Every structure is written in C-alpha cells, then in structure tokens.
Amino acid sequence: MKEQDLQLASILERCRTDPPNILDALLAVQGGLGYVPPTALPDIARALTMTEADVAGVLTYYPELRTHPPGRHLIRVCTGESCVANHCGRLLAALADELRIGMGATTPDGRFTLEKVYCVGNCAVSPSVMIDEDVHGRVAPTDVPKLLQGYK
C-alpha cells in the first residue's frame, strides 16, 4: 500500500461518525494530504457509507477544498469588506500577473498556489495577504515582486 493510501485510511478511520459528517471528513483528508485526491472518492464514500456522487457534490461545492496538490507556498488574498474597500482586487490582479496564473491555480514549478479567502483578520491594515502562515498588511500591487522574493 502506498504511503498516501495508508495516510488516507488512518484519516478516514478517525472520521467515522454516525451520522457521517462529510465536510469534516473532507477537511480532515485535505488537512492530512494537502488536498482531496479525486482517486480517494471511492474510499471516502465507502468509509462514510455514502455514494461517490454525494462526496463529489460536497467536494466541488466548497471552494476551500482542493482536488490538486497545492504549491509549496499558499498565497491567500483577503476579500473581506475592509480589503475590498482598499482595492484588494488590484492586489489579486498583481499577484496573478506576477505569478502568471489564475485564481485557484498553481505555478508550473509548483512553488505558489493563489487563492482568495473571505477574511484573514487583519482589517486594520488592509488589504492583506497571507502567505503560508505569514500575514502581510497594507500590501500594494507594487509590493508584490518584493513580497514574493522572500518565498522563492
């Protein structure tokens, strides 16, 4: 058995509840593996006594759930009210341009994944971006190249 399969089996064993909580199970899989591999859907469905269609429906409904491995650095741009008021859209565009990827995508070298989130709790210094666990505030589009340099 592959390492990922063993990890998945261990995660799913901890997720068995009655009634099954599919979202908790998918979040646990993503927390353990970094994403929810589409090939794992049959195992997840079997562990939760659900259909694959039910699992796939929840997996595709929530944008926080990923079906592909994320890059080494996860970039999350805040799109809460304060960040929107302070032009986070420009920041998103600058990041997408600099990385040459779209929202939810990973750079071809596997270094960065770009996502947007509702709030990172840094409203006083918006717009904010979170790279891995580091929160950066008052980020201007012109700051993007220098900001990313620290993660290469």
**Whether the predicted pLDDT of 79 surpasses 80:** yes
> Could you give the domains of the chain?
3-61 (no CATH), 73-149 (3.40.30.10)
Residue 4 confidence (pLDDT): 81
Give 19's pLDDT tier (boundaries 50, 70, 90): low
Q: In the chain, pLDDT over 90 holds for what percent of residues?
A: 78
**Whether the predicted pLDDT of 29 surpasses 90:** yes
pLDDT tens, residue by residue, 90-142:
999 999 999 999 999 999 999 999 999 999 999 999 999 999 999 999 999 99
Give 83's pLDDT tier (boundaries 50, 70, 90): very high
**Whether the predicted pLDDT of 1 surpasses 90:** no
Count of other CB atoms within 10 angstroms of residue 46:
12
**Whether the predicted pLDDT of 78 surpasses 80:** yes
